[in-house]
Structure 1
Amino acid sequence: MNKKSIKDSTPMYIGVVLTLLVILVGSIMISVTLGSAKISVSEVYKVLGYKVLGIKAYSEYSSGPMHDVVWIIRFPRVVLAIAIGMSLSISGVVMQAIVKNPLADPYILGISSGASLGATFAIMLGFGAILGGNFVGVMAFIGALLVSFGVLLLANIKGSATSSKLILAGMALSAVCSSFSNFIIYIANDKTGMQTVSYWLLGSLAGAKWETDIIILPIVIIACLFFWSRYRVLNLMLLGDDVSITLGTDLHKPRHIYLIITSIMIGLSVYCAGVIGFVGLIIPHAVRMIFGTDHKKLIPISALVGSIFMIFADALSRIIIPNSEMPIGILISMVGAPVFIYLMVKRSYGFGGVE
């Protein structure tokens, strides 16, 4: 079957989605068994059998060290990996449609720099300490949202926001946030704080907890379903403002709404796992090369592929160094950058992979 038929074939699309769902379930089961603690596969599944399925025969695993490792440490990480992978992938898809750039990712509009500035304020100067033990993540979340609103405000000065104005506003605010972050780090002269900021900015799922999982996962799923239902508008964004207005659709309001929703998703991801880049760039672009630019297919496939990718990336970050853990941001960049370069060399640049 040629590339065009793969893109346009509904049975093929359904088969791919079902296959990815099976792979996702398998990835979850494999990932939970991996880690530095030596626990057999049967014991892992018995804990999950009791906690998830309520199998009474496994009630002996309702507590104890094995229960804690599997249910309190590993499984929340897998759930968070699914939420983060889905969030960043879909945010990348939407951002690329908003700015009409297939190489854009969720951080091109300065959202990453805003989160970094918020975290730097919290770690180096103690801002937001009254917000509780997770105040660093909360400040990063606030920083991401404030920069998003700032981008919208700047882009709407002297006329409605366009994709070009959004990119320029994002680049400007990103430079401002980075400058302030570096200034704070310089004047604080706190080596411990600098190490904390650096490690936090590299991203990690080690802080996964059920309390945060049950918040971020439903929100991300609802956001993905929302964007899936708006695939026609996202397709129009690729055509540009002039064409969409000719077709009777003004993209000004949807562009604002979509940017705010993606900013919330990214802010929650930053809150739960720090700054993890590249996922929103490589996943949508790779999926688009195979299945085309139709967001009706692109969104669900990207969400599933992003979740699977993040699960295995987190599992590898836990086992690649014995008795230690590599920040997932480093690992993703090491793996993702060569893959992306390969895709760029093998395929033509642009939406859909065929120009």
Structure 2
Amino acid sequence: MILKDLKGKIIFIILIGILILVSLFSMSMGSVKISFRDIYEILGNKLFNLSLSPHIQQSTVDIIWQIRFPRVILGAVVGIGLALCGVVMQATVQNPLADPYILGISSGGTLGATFSVLVFSVYFSSSSISLSISVAAFIGALLSSIVVFKISTIGGRMTPVKLVLSGVVVNFICTAFSSLMIYMSNDNGAVRSISDWTMGSLAGATLKNITLPLISVILIGGFFLTQSRILNIMLLGDESAITLGVDLNKYRKIYLLLTAFLTGIMVAACGIIGFVGLVIPHITRSLVGTNHKINTPCAMLIGGIFLMLSDIIARSLLTSMELPIGIITSIIGAPFFMYILIKKSYSFGGA
């Protein structure tokens, strides 16, 4: 156990270093190449009011501070948030195939975004449509989660199986209504906007719209970092929890509400980005085991690294256009997930 803890701490420190390097590399990439030293000076000037070298032009400062820095922060925050939700969700519902969207959150967000694009675009100017999409997606994701909670408590206590089945039902219902609205629409531009949104993107990141996701991840992530004991007990099952005097039903409700809220914010910020919350917890368990004391922080770091790397590929793979990041995460995540399942051996509920 001591060796495992030491290994986990070493991996955690290495992941912090990789996260910083990937962040700098992401900010240096683009049509305008910017050196790490210039990035360091620009961020130092903006964050700590340090002096800038004379050779750094204002256009370079604007590229880093207004475009690339917010995008990198949003990518890291969303990756960290989705990975965190994946770890918590898989432990809470005791299902290694659970992900942050299992409660119908993605389909609820899609329904809200679809309604916003097809209805609000008729009454509002194009400048306010983007904001309406984010708000409607968040409301849709949150309402779908509440409906799932209500359904799963009908006829008795909430159980992991009832939660999963309720999420499947709500997912199909929301997807059906979204498809119906798209089918009935004659606005090809709106349909394209919905399609782009469902594939995810970090292109809309600004210093203003990254604030809420950042604060939410810090607060909710900080809370779950203190819950490693309960999350470990959840892996053992309800019977073992009863013998330990822990009411998992109470914690399950709290955890799922928090993950639903956080996932809703992620969905509203950048659309649907799949495979992060599903794959990252499996990668982390294969590296450091299932003890959430080290598993959770490592998963958060790997999630941030994975999404930033995916964003780099999405921006640089084609010269004439930017690919949706959701496509990249799926292309990378699916084969890697298969490799983990085939080549690596670990127990979902064991250390």
Asked if these proteins are the same fold (TM beyond 0.5), I'd say: yes
Q: SS at the partner of 2:95?
A: coil
- 2:70 matched to 1:73? no
> Could you tell me which amino acid in structure 2 is paired with residue 109 of structure 1?
L
Deviates more, 1:135-144 or 1:239-248: 239-248
Q: What is the alpha-carbon distance in structure 2 between the residues aligned to residue 154 and residue 214 of structure 1?
A: 33
- State the shift of 1:245 in Å: 1.7
Q: Deviation digits for residues 198-231 of structure 1, max 9, x if unmatched?
A: 1110000001111122221122022111111111
Amino acid at match of 2:283: A
Partner SS, residue 283 of structure 2 = helix
- The one-letter code of the counterpart of 1:294 is N
Q: CA deviation at 1:350?
A: 4.8
Amino acid at match of 1:142: I
The offset of 1:311, in angstroms, is: 1.3
> 2:25 matched to which residue of 1?
30
Separation of aligned partners in 1, 2:193 and 2:350: 40
- CA displacement at 1:349 relative to structure 2: 7.3
- The residue that corresponds to 2:12 in the other structure is 17
Aligned mates of 1:353, 1:332 — CA distance in 2: 28
Q: Is the 8 A contact 1:292 1:352 kept in 2?
A: no
| Kept after mapping to 2: 8 A contact 1:47/1:58 | no
Q: CA deviation at 1:172?
A: 0.4
Tell me the residue number matched to 2:102: 108
Matched AA of 1:55: L
CA contact (8 A) 2:286 2:345 kept: no
Instruction: Select which of 50, 56, 76 maps to 2:51.
Output: 56
Q: Please say which of residues 37-46 and 283-292 is displaced more in the overlay.
A: 37-46
Q: Which amino acid aligns with 2:253?
A: H
Please tell me the residue identity of whatever aligns with 1:71: W
Q: Which stretch of structure 1 is more off in the superposition, 52-61 or 194-203?
A: 52-61
Q: Deviations over 1:41-94 (max 9, x none)?
A: 443333223223422243775x73211111100011011111001000000001
Q: Take 1:38 and 1:226, find their aligned partners in 2: how far apart are those partners?
A: 39
Q: Does 1:95 align with 2:89?
A: yes
- Give per-residue Cα distances to partners, 1:88-119, cap 9 Å, x unaligned: 00000011011111121111221111111111
**Cα–Cα, structure 1 residues 243 and 325, in superposed 2: closer, same or farther, change >3 Å?**
same
Structure-2 separation of matches of 1:344 and 1:9: 21
The amino acid of 1:102's aligned partner reads P
1:351 alignment partner, SS class: coil
In structure 1, C-alpha distance between the alignment counterparts of 2:83 and 2:35, rounded to whole Å = 33
Matches within 5 A, 1:310-329: 310-329=307-326
Matched, 1:272 2:266: no
* C-alpha RMSD of the superposition: 2.1
Structure 2 residues without counterparts, runs of 5 or longer: none
Quick check: 1:293 aligned with 2:290? Answer: yes
Matches of 1:38 and 1:243 in 2, distance apart?
56
Amino acid at match of 1:82: A
In the aligned structure 1, how far is the partner of 2:24 from the partner of 2:108? 36
- Indicate if the aligned counterparts of 1:110 and 1:170 stay in contact, CA closer than 8 A: yes
> What is aligned with 1:152?
149
Counterpart position of 1:330:
327
Match of 1:43 in 2: 38
Distance verdict in 2 for CA 1:164–1:352, change over 3 Å:
closer
Percent of paired sites with the same residue: 43
Change (3 A) 1:92 1:223: same
1:205 aligns with 202
Give CA deviations for 1:102-149 in whole Å, capped at 9, x if unaligned: 121111221111111111101112289598741101100111111111
Q: Tell me which amino acid in the other structure corresponds to 2:24.
A: M
Question: Aligned residue pairs: how many?
Answer: 348
In 1, the alpha carbon distance for the partners of 2:318 and 2:55 equals 32
Pair 334,133 (structure 1): closer, same or farther in 2 beyond 3 Å: closer
State whether structure 2 residue 167 is matched by structure 1 residue 167: no
Q: Distance in 2 between matches of 1:95 and 1:39?
A: 39
Q: CA 1:293 to 1:115, structure 2 compared with 1: closer, same or farther past 3 Å?
A: same
Q: CA deviation at 1:190?
A: 2.2
* Contact 1:289–1:352 (Cα < 8 Å) also in 2: no
Name the TM-score, length of structure 2 as normaliser.
0.93
Which range moves more in the overlay, 165-174 or 267-276? 267-276
1:235 lines up with 2:232 in the alignment? yes
Can you list the C-alpha shifts for 1:222-263, whole angstroms capped at 9, x where unaligned? 211111111111111112222212221111111111111111
User: How high is the TM-score relative to the length of structure 1?
Assistant: 0.92
